């Protein structure tokens, strides 16, 4: 029955997501039940701009591009994500249509974690919300640290106007 699981351990993968770092194993088990695997071939569109999010994605392996088409018709790439990274969390919580589209740049395997199972866990345990916010904040904090260390190493602002 489990042949379609590629032998991957969904729970172990979820436990490594920054968003879920603080969760108990039984919470992870329940989220795993609301997760499904998604194999994408290079070039596949995972969701379109304007779609209503049904959850968010974790990249087991592969590479995914988030982008949108500008008014001029050109493509603007927002992010390129790889193994172990997640995307779609923010829109999922905002209850708004996706502002970008997601396209596989390589053959990829993803986990789709259903919004309903996350909301169920949040209803079960309000502390989960704080844990998830902490996880997201940590991620932002890392980004900010990266930016700060980068600007420190680049010799600071130049004196020329």
Q: Each residue of 52-87: pLDDT tens digit? A: 999 999 999 999 999 999 888 899 999 999 998 998
Asked if residue 159 is part of any domain, the answer here is: no
- What's the number of domains the chain is made of? 1
Please give the biggest Cα pair distance in the chain: 66
Asked if residue 161 is part of any domain, the answer here is: no
Asked if residue 100 is part of any domain, the answer here is: yes
Q: Mean pLDDT throughout 34-53?
A: 95
Asked if residue 158 is part of any domain, the answer here is: no
Predicted confidence at residue 125, as pLDDT, reads 82
The predicted-structure confidence for 121-159, as pLDDT tens digits, reads as follows 888 888 888 877 877 777 677 667 777 776 776 555 555
CATH number of domain containing 57: 2.60.120.10
Instruction: Tell me if 59 sits within 8 A of 102, measured CB to CB.
Output: no
Asked if residue 160 is part of any domain, the answer here is: no
Residue ranges making up the domain that contains 6: 2-153
Judged against a pLDDT cut of 50, whether residue 1 lies above it is answered with no
- For residue 103, list its beta bridge partners: 45, 65
d(CA 77, CA 66): 6
């Amino acid at each position: 029955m489990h042949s379609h699981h590629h032998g991957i351990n969904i729970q172990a993968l979820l436990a490594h997501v920054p968003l879920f770092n603080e969760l108990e194993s039984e919470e992870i088990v329940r989220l795993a039940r609301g997760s499904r695997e998604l194999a994408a071939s290079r070039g596949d569109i995972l969701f379109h701009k304007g779609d209503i999010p049904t959850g968010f994605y974790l990249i087991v392996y592969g590479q995914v591009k988030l982008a949108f088409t500008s008014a001029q018709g050109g493509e603007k790439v927002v992010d390129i994500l790889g193994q172990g990274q997640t995307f779609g969390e923010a829109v999922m919580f905002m209850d708004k249509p996706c502002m970008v589209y997601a396209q596989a740049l390589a053959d990829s395997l993803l986990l789709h974690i259903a919004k309903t199972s996350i909301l169920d866990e949040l209803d079960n345990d309000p502390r989960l919300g704080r844990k998830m916010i902490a996880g997201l904040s940590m991620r932002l904090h890392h980004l900010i640290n990266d930016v700060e260390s980068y600007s420190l190493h680049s010799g600071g602002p130049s004196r020329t106007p």
